[in-house]
Structure 1
Amino acid sequence: MTFARQLAAHGDRVAFITPSGELSYRELARRVSATAKRLGPVRRLVLLAGANRVDALVVHLAALSAGHPVLLVPGDSDSTIDALTEAYDPDVVARQDERGHVTLHERRPGTAHTLHPDLALLLSTSGSTGSPKLVRLSHDNVQANAASIAGYLGITDTDRAATTLPPHYCYGLSVIHSHLVRGAGLILTDRSVADAGFWEEFRAARGTSLAGVPYTFDLLDRVGFADMELPHLRRVTQAGGRLAPERVARYAEQGRRAGWELFVMYGQTEATARMAYLPPHLAAARPEAVGVAIPGGSFRLAPVDTPTEPDTAQNPDADDVGELVYSGPNVMLGYAQGPADLALGRTVHELHTGDLARRAPDGLYEIVGRRSRFAKICGLRIDPQRVEALLERHGITAFCVGDGDALAVAALTDGVESHSDETRVRRLVAQECGIPPRAVRVRVVPELPRLASGKPDHEAVRRLTRPRSPAADPAGAAGEAGADPDAAPWSTDPGAALRSLYADILDRDDVTDDSSFVALGGDSLCYVEMSLRLEEALGTLPTDWPARPIRELASLATESGDRAEDTGARETCSRGARRSVETGIALRAIGIVLVVGSHIPVFTLQGSAHILIGVAGYNFARFHLTAAAHRDRVRHLWRGVARIALPSMVWISCAVLLTGLYDPANALLVNSLLDQGTERHEWHYWFVEALVYFLVVLGALLAVPLLDRLERRHPFGVPLALVAIGLVGRYDLLGLAPARFHLGPAVVFWLFALGWAAARATSARQRLLLTAVLLLTTPGLFQDQPQRTLLVVAGLTLLIWVPTLPSLGPLNRVAGVLASSSLYIYLTHFQVYPFLRDDFPVLALLASLAVGIGYATVATRVVRRLRPAGSHPAEPDKCFERDGSRLLGSWRTVKSS
């Protein structure tokens, strides 16, 4: 291994930067040489539990320099180390001891294997860590790929890269190799980029390079990476999965402004690491492409002559699509299934990637789907054929295929089909593959589906295992091939259908009529699917359904069915009738969707949070400043504060404790007062803090009888005066604005006051005045973001002038749920969407909305239970319209505004 043997040539340049000090290339070479001598002159198989530590990397480099093949495994997985030790019988095992030091355990003085002279490295393929199937890489593979990556990235000896990825992962290892080959420095750290300590180390070491997989970029968004001062950063690299094109474009533009370049890369372990990269100057314009072949490599498109299973929408240029085949000096020697394969030489000359691709007219390659049966489940690459072999070892004959983000399994029964058999298969597959049980769909059938040719019918497997709606036509369900004969029709036994539904989604075999979603351990990941499926069956889903026993929901279904029979014709005629919805409710519903969708981002339409500030002021005037007596008015206002502050503090406290991404100041809702700076992600909850501050201050002022009478006497003049006072903060005339100017409570108060005034405006002249103020003062609030300005102006103009909007009944129901849960969706979505947005941005949006709605339901129930005996909320507004579009009482509107 050339670069491992030439470390000393870089002299006193810094090789490793650690929290305890720096290590020069000269000292590193000395340690590598000493360890190589310990390994001995006879080539031996070395299993190394990798870690971003000096001692572990010394062993790795020593083995490579002396010609000992290295089997790299994760250092934090004892089960994987033990499994591969048993499977490959290594001669030397290097792993951490109780004190955290890497020690060499020599299992024999020589070797028990015949090792091919070209063999240098053994790595697990993505998602199959612990599997005996390994990728065999040669010395030339590793050297060529390291040099190629260093070349197109432009790495020099002045670079310093952080080890943000584990070394047993080919991407993390390629970062190490490509910097060592150029005599650059490595900042050795096991910290996450979500850890403030990581950035302290990165700045102190003058870090120039940052590597990440899609989830890394989720964390970067959460910690406020866009606003960080990183003067030495030169490049950010991304691989390890598809990053949504809109995010690629956003990061490319962010890098352009900050002075660093974004390199999006494509590769596989079978190609040592990299096969393609997208030149950074094309990232913003062509974010959907994987780019061009790396230096020394080439692509060709092989004709596709067998049915394919694309992962994406149909490609309009299907005639130009073929399987992407890569050639280059970094293509692996081949696979190893066991120790005997370590003696093999090259068995692979070009790499059939299994990806379907096209070459665009500009020469860039684009991935449009997958040809192989490999499925990407929960971020792991699963081989359905391995799953079938696994089940066969347990005496189960089955067909398996990927279906979206789930694994579909049709298993052959040797007797009576039962749900317990399905549960056994599901748990067995989930345990062996390392995926959650809910990601495995199983159907036990008397005969496995096959094509006329006798081959497995994978599409039939997908159909068999897809969940059926409980409301589906019973005859149709019974007539479907493979339908469960034990599943009772919904119309005749809704209780049985509900029990089956709960058992399927929650993976439980102990469901009874007294079970509830909460009691069965339902979580936020199941909430979306369960609520949608129940709504299909029940028509209208009660807000407290998670805590209701199945027998109650079954009775609702029976009543719903009876009503449907009695009024079916009338309902059919009226279902599409025109309705209306209050503008404030529509803005809150649409606004929260835009907020969450822009954060993911599914789209980029920013500014809705500032519209919601205005809507909050509008609702404050309507639902707090009523004609009630002074004491009742003040008491009601303080209850409103509590209904916002308490659920917010509970959720954020959990985020502080569980994620480590926020400060206690967030939980206390005082971050805006302390001004944490531009680099802090604690500004996520500025909106909640602003609402609480406004209500607390106004509650204190209105507690003064004189001011209370003044507001009653001048209902429009008082908020208009507050708009004028708020403009002092809007233009920061007192120098109180925080670093994040447009998020400061003092800066945005004028919008709250403007919404308050809009609710009190009774004439066209007053509305024209408010519109003029809005048009004159909003520009400049968001620097160089005209779209934000236009959205805020449009939304608040609508609020000022249009009291209701035309709508439809179903839209009203959706708007009501979203509007009443908007605060809770805002609270929770920061902890929800990062887990889904890269591969499933739309699902991330839906999940964020669902979790927020769920938290709203729980918070509401808790508040009701904690209400003292004899205490009652203020009389709700009589806001029931004939069309049923508004069912929100005053207290509920306040809590979610």
Structure 2
Amino acid sequence: MGRVPRLVLLEASNDVESIVTLLAALSGGHPVLLCAPTEAQGSGGAHEAGASAWWESWNPDVIARGEVLEERRPGTAHDLHPDLALLMSTSGSTGSPKLVRLSGDNLDCNSGQIVDALGITADDVAATTLPLQYCYGLSVVLSHLSVGASVLLTDLSVVDTCFWEAFRKAGGTILAGVPYTYDLLEAAGFASMDLPRLRLLTQAGGRMDPVTVRRWAELGADRGFELAVMYGQTEATARMATLPTHLAATHPSAIGVAVRGGAFRLDPVDGAPARVGELVYSGGNVMLGYAEVPADLARGAEVSELRTGDLARFDADGLVEIVGRRSRFAKVCGLRIDLDRVESGLADGGRTAYVMDGGDRLLVALATPGGDVTAVRREVSERYAVPRAAVVVTEVTDVPRTASGKVDRPALAALVDAFGDPTCPTPDRLSAPGGHVSPAEGPLGVSHRGNQSGEAIRALFADLLDRPDATLDDSFVTLRGDSLSYVEASVRLEGLLGTLPASWHTRPIRELVAAPTEEAPTSRWPEWLRGRTLETSVVLRGLAIAIIVLTHAGVLEVRGGAHMLLAVAGYAFARFQLSGEGRVGRVSHILESVTRIAVPSAVWIGVLTLVDERYSWWNPALLTSIGGSNVHPQWRYWFIEAVVHLLVGLAVLLSIPAIDRLERARPFALPVGLAVLGLVFRYGLIDVGSHHEHGRPLVVLWLFVLGWAMARAEVRWQRWLLTAYIGLVVPGFFGDPEREATIAVGLLVLLWVRSVRVPAFVVPLVVPIASASLFIYLVQWEVMGRVGYTPLGAVVAIFTGWIAWRGAAPLVEPLARWVGAQASRVLSKSSRTVVGSAGS
């Protein structure tokens, strides 16, 4: 680049070329402007803070893309101050033209401060879980390299098993994340992972809920790693404070103390509570100042302290606690948003709107009569690079105002706050600004190959799950898909994308279309004979219900299918109900599933009770195990009742905060413990009733939670442990070796075989049967009782169940979502009441 300082625009990726270019430029005295790769800007127009916009605004002398350096002129077009080393967008902000001017001394100072706070040594290995152009991600790289530590360069998500294989192989010791990273870690089963060298997790990029902080600190104490909560802004190079790791569990609301050489003070703020003021920081890592036009690059240091805009207080132990924001900025999914600029941008389009900070959501109250809520949501999302699911817009006809006539923003926020939950993109795809995406991706982070696939998948989920609000940032799990809809979704997705990754149901659509998939190999066989991949649980569900019907019809004599389905139900429970969302979301999700099962069952059995005296009203109430008699028809639906009772019981159990925390900390150990506890009822140590003992909910608890444990078994020793459990517990359950062998084989297949290849012609048979299994189970006896207990009767029963499923599902789904919403409100209100009582 020469000896004359030149402005270098670096389109940074988490790769060796970007790191080498950055270090070379800094070493040679060339100021670097960091941004996401140009390809992150689609043909539909660059984002305001995008790379191409910066070319025009800042006129760089050199553009660096990987190994390629594009020299736009022989010298420089700028007057560059000798102290200027780095230009970064403000804390990953969008909607703001400001850049932060940082010096080499700033970078060296803060790297040393971070090394000191975290105790980083040359033996440490960190991974690039965050983009390089995001100040937090950059600080991880620079601080580690400054002491000779290693950095694993990767763009893989933490939900990708390949990431963890690379992390283990590299001997990873430190893992950095923003709050949403920790949600993904939970979804990925982090608590049960074998990471022998991991010693430290770090968290910054936004406030993490104190309950979550305490839970991760407790998990670390149990697993041998520590949690360091950190606080910073780009204006302070990266970090200003760290909470000592030994205080994370006891002071989860605090950001800690200033880093070495830094200091905090509180300046008075009118109207703030006692002992609360604006947090002001001073130290050698405070920026030179801002740059808004190229002429600002000639300016030197203009500030010696940083007014953070955060309202804070010192607690009794001298730790800093952030209690609010003074300025009109919000941090949404790790990106800082200028709320006034969003409002003025909407006003330029002729719309009156009020934009407020909703924590991890952007709350927009649209006051323009007849305004298009959908269009506003789309515009804010795309213009400011905010995930669409994190933008909540509602139309307000009467704007609330205070006694002085000013707009009452807290009241407005409360009106908007009732709509939706935040859904952020994966943190390792966040950037400052515009979203960190791969070079082949378009304006919303979906590859050009994936633009069509992404919309197709979104439409598929919208139709299949009755969620027209589905966005590219949603996943099957966040849209509340369950085990029944999963069957059809997985098969239809495979037709769109090829072989699916194991964790597809937890991945946002935009990430799913960008994930590598395997195309079906070229075959000379006819299309109907070519192999298709189905998940084992799907095949077992379809096979089991078919065997059940054929056995009841007298065509086969293979018993044990219903008990095998109990394990499949537990397997599905772990995968869909126990997602990475919070306790309230999990419980409401479980109750939605209960509604999908219990309501159609109660309606059908209720009709039977009216026309068939052999049934009692205990049957439609699904309480036969409590008040039913020994009449055989009354126990036909024991399986439905068992699943409902177990799901309700687990919803109650997981609504207890301590149990919820235990499940997240020990996702494999908890179901194994319950499986051991279930043996008390399996072996009759506690009597729960003599007639139809093998169908009582508590007696079959061990089977359901065994399926749950299977879904959580990530490593080989866990699978061998469950294999031993099956070998010890299944024999003798019925006193029928053939029936027990059927169950044992099904359980072992579910445990050890995650997917199977089947001829293509099998898929149209298995998938509808598996999807409609609940309804087939319900109608089988009545249909065969009229058509005959024959092969024809079995086929008609299966077909009738499929028709019932297709007809009832659209009616039941809105009710299920209503139940989930009501449960969420009640639980949220209860949680706030408990927290409020504790606080007072």
Query: What is the TM-score of this pair, normalised by structure 1?
Result: 0.51
Partner residue of 1:354 out of 286, 309, 312: 309
In 2, Cα distance between equivalents of 1:365 and 1:457: 29
1:295 and 1:743 mapped to 2: Cα distance?
48
Q: Is residue 119 from structure 1 mapped to residue 118 from structure 2 by the alignment? A: no
User: In the alignment, does 2:318 pair up with 1:363?
Assistant: yes
Which whole-Å CA distance do the structure 1 matches of 2:4 and 2:219 have between them?
52
After TM superposition, give the deviation of residue 602 of structure 1 in Å: 4.6
Letter in 2 for 1:433: Y
SS of the residue corresponding to residue 274 of structure 2 reads helix
1:81 maps to amino acid: A
1:77 aligns with 2:77: no
The residue that corresponds to 1:418 in the other structure is: 370
Residue 227 of structure 1: aligned partner: 192
1:431-488 deviation line (CA, Å, top 9, x unaligned) = 3123327724354779x888788876545755786789xxxxxxxxxxxxxxxxxxxx
- Where 1:126 maps in the other structure, the secondary structure is helix
**Given the superposition, is the C-alpha separation of residues 95 and 460 from structure 1 closer, same or farther in structure 2, using an over 3 Å criterion?**
same
- 1:521 is aligned, of 463, 468, 471, to 468
Q: In 2, Cα distance between the equivalents of 1:295 and 1:444?
A: 49
Aligned partner of 1:54 in structure 2 is: 16
Alignment partner of 1:428 out of 351, 375, 379: 379
Alpha carbons 2:127, 2:175 under 8 Å: kept: yes
Among 607, 627, 632, the alignment partner of 2:631 is: 627
In the TM superposition, residue 365 of structure 1 has moved relative to its aligned partner by 0.9
- Please tell me the residue identity of whatever aligns with 1:324: L
One of 439, 455, 458 as aligned partner of 2:391? 439
Q: Which amino acid in the other structure matches residue 209 of structure 1?
A: I
Q: Paired residues, what number?
A: 548
For the pair 1:386 / 2:357, whether they are aligned, the reply is no
Partner of 2:107: 142
User: CA–CA distance in 2 between the matches of 1:92 and 1:163?
Assistant: 25
Query: Which segments of 5 or more consecutive residues in structure 1 lack a partner in the other structure?
Result: 1-38, 97-101, 309-317, 469-514, 532-587, 646-677, 699-710, 730-735, 757-855, 874-886, 889-897
Instruction: For 1:327, give the aligned amino acid.
Output: S
Give the secondary structure class of the aligned counterpart of 1:287. Answer: coil
SS at match of 2:5: coil
* 3-state SS, counterpart of residue 284 of structure 2: coil
Q: For 2:479 and 2:585, how far apart are their aligned partners in 1?
A: 29
Secondary structure at the residue paired with 2:632? coil
Contact 1:430 1:440 in 2 (8 A): no
- Which structure is larger by alpha-carbon Rg, 1 or 2? 1
Distance 1:175 1:403, change over 3 A: closer
Residue 221 of structure 2 is aligned to residue 256 of structure 1: yes
1:296 to 254, 261, 268: 261
Deviations 1:162-192 (A, max 9, x none): 2222111111111111111111222222222
The one-letter amino acid paired with 2:34 is L
One-letter amino acid of the structure 1 residue matched with residue 223 of structure 2 = A
The verdict on how the C-alpha distance between 1:602 and 1:53 changes in structure 2, with shifts beyond 3 A counting, is same
Q: Which residue of 1 aligns with 2:749?
A: none
Q: Is the 8 A contact 1:266 1:290 kept in 2?
A: yes
3-state secondary structure, aligned to 2:171: coil
Candidates 230, 241, 253, aligned match of 1:265: 230
Q: By how many angstroms is 1:321 displaced?
A: 1.0
Aligned-residue offset at 1:224: 3.1
Q: Taking structure 1 as reference, are residues 138 and 623 closer, same or farther at Cα in structure 2, changes over 3 Å only?
A: farther
Q: Tell me the equivalent position of 1:218.
A: 183
- Residues 605 and 628 (structure 1), Cα distance of their counterparts in 2 relative to 1, 3 Å cut: closer
2:102 alignment partner, SS class: strand
Structure-2 change in CA distance of 1:280 and 1:465 (3 Å): closer
- Secondary structure in 2 matching 1:237: strand
Cα distance in 1 for partners of 2:379, 2:91 equals 21
Aligned partner letter, 1:627: V
1:275 pairs, out of 240, 243, 246, with 240
Contact 1:719-1:754 at 8 Å conserved across structures = no
Give, in whole Å, the separation in 2 of the partners of 1:145 and 1:253. 29
Name the residue aligned to 2:614.
none
Q: Deviations over 1:743-783 (max 9, x none)?
A: 94985999999999xxxxxxxxxxxxxxxxxxxxxxxxxxx
Deviations 1:62-100 (A, max 9, x none): 11001111111123623422122222111111124xxxx
- 1:363: Cα distance to partner? 1.1
Q: Which residue pairs with 1:188 in the alignment?
A: 153
In structure 2, the CA distance between the partners of 1:622 and 1:205, relative to structure 1 (3 Å rule), is same
Larger CA deviation: 455-464 vs 81-90: 455-464
Cα–Cα, structure 1 residues 449 and 223, in superposed 2: closer, same or farther, change >3 Å?
A: closer
Matches within 5 A, 1:489-500: none
1: CA distance, partners of 2:115 / 2:332: 32
Match of 2:455 in 1: none
The 3 A distance-change label for structure 1 pair 444 and 620 is closer
Whose RCO is larger (CA < 8 A, sep 6+)? 2
Q: CA deviation at 1:246?
A: 2.6
By how many angstroms is 1:387 displaced?
1.3
For residues 54 and 236 of structure 1, what CA distance do their matches in structure 2 show?
A: 24
Is the 1:266–1:276 Cα contact (8 Å) retained in structure 2? yes
Letter in 2 for 1:359: F
Residue of structure 2 equivalent to 1:788: none
Question: What value does the CA root-mean-square deviation take over the aligned residues?
Answer: 5.8
| C-alpha distance 424-725 of structure 1, shift in aligned 2 (>3 A) | closer
Other-structure match for 2:503: none
* CA deviation string 1:110-136 (max 9, x = no partner): 111121211111111234248532111
* 1:352 to 1:62, Cα distance in 2 relative to 1, 3 A: same
Q: Which position in structure 2 is the counterpart of 1:339?
A: 294
Cα distance in 1 for residues equivalent to 2:275 and 2:74: 56
Query: 1:156 and 2:121 equivalent?
Result: yes
Q: Distance in 2 between matches of 1:746 and 1:147?
A: 52
Equivalent pair of 1:425/1:442 in contact (CA under 8 Å): no
* Structure 2 portions without partners, runs of 5+: 420-461, 481-568, 599-621, 647-663, 707-712, 735-769, 784-794, 802-814, 817-840
1:181 and 1:89 map into 2 onto residues whose CA distance is: 31
Superposed CA deviations along residues 274-313 of structure 1, whole A, max 9, x for unmatched, are 00001112122212211000001000011111x56xxxxx
CA deviation after TM superposition for structure 1 residue 143, in Å: 0.7
Q: Provide closer, same or farther for how the CA distance between residues 466 and 169 of structure 1 changes in structure 2, counting only shifts above 3 A.
A: closer
Instruction: Report the counterpart of residue 27 of structure 2 in structure 1.
Output: 65
Structure 2 vs 1, CA of residues 90 and 862 (structure 1 numbering), >3 Å: closer, same or farther?
A: farther
Distance (Å, rounded) in 2 between the aligned partners of 1:249 and 1:520: 34
Supply the distance in 2 between the matched residues of 1:160 and 1:117 (Cα, whole angstroms). Answer: 33
**For the residues of structure 1 that align with 2:180 and 2:697, how far apart are their CA atoms?**
46
Deviation sequence 1:340-371 (CA, Å, 0-9, x none): 22222223221111111111121111111111
Partner in structure 1 of residue 62 of structure 2: 92
Q: 2:2 aligns with which of 8, 15, 40?
A: 40
Q: CA deviation at 1:599?
A: 7.4
Q: Give the equivalent residue in structure 2 for 1:375.
A: 330
What's the counterpart of residue 552 of structure 1? none
Report the CA distance shift for 1:738/1:458 in structure 2 as closer, same or farther (over 3 A): closer
Where 2:157 maps in the other structure, the secondary structure is coil
Would you say the 8 A contact 2:694–2:700 is kept in 1? no
- Helix, strand or coil: the match of 1:236? strand
Q: Distance in 1 between matches of 2:699 and 2:400?
A: 71
Q: 1:398 and 1:604 mapped to 2: Cα distance?
A: 30
Give SS of 1:202's match: helix
Q: 1:218 to 1:445 in 2, by over 3 A?
A: closer
- Contact in 2 for aligned 1:263/1:279 (Cα 8 Å): yes
Deviation larger for 49-58 or 338-347: 338-347
Do the aligned partners of residues 620 and 66 (structure 1) sit closer, same or farther apart at CA in structure 2, a change above 3 Å counting? farther
- State the identity %: 47
CA gap of 1:640–1:210, structure 2 versus 1, over 3 A, is same
> What amino acid sits opposite 1:521 in the alignment?
P
Distance 1:628 1:450, change over 3 A: closer
Matched, 1:105 2:60: no
Q: Post-superposition shift, 1:45?
A: 0.9
1:301-316 to structure 2, matched below 5 A, reads 301-305=266-270, 307=271
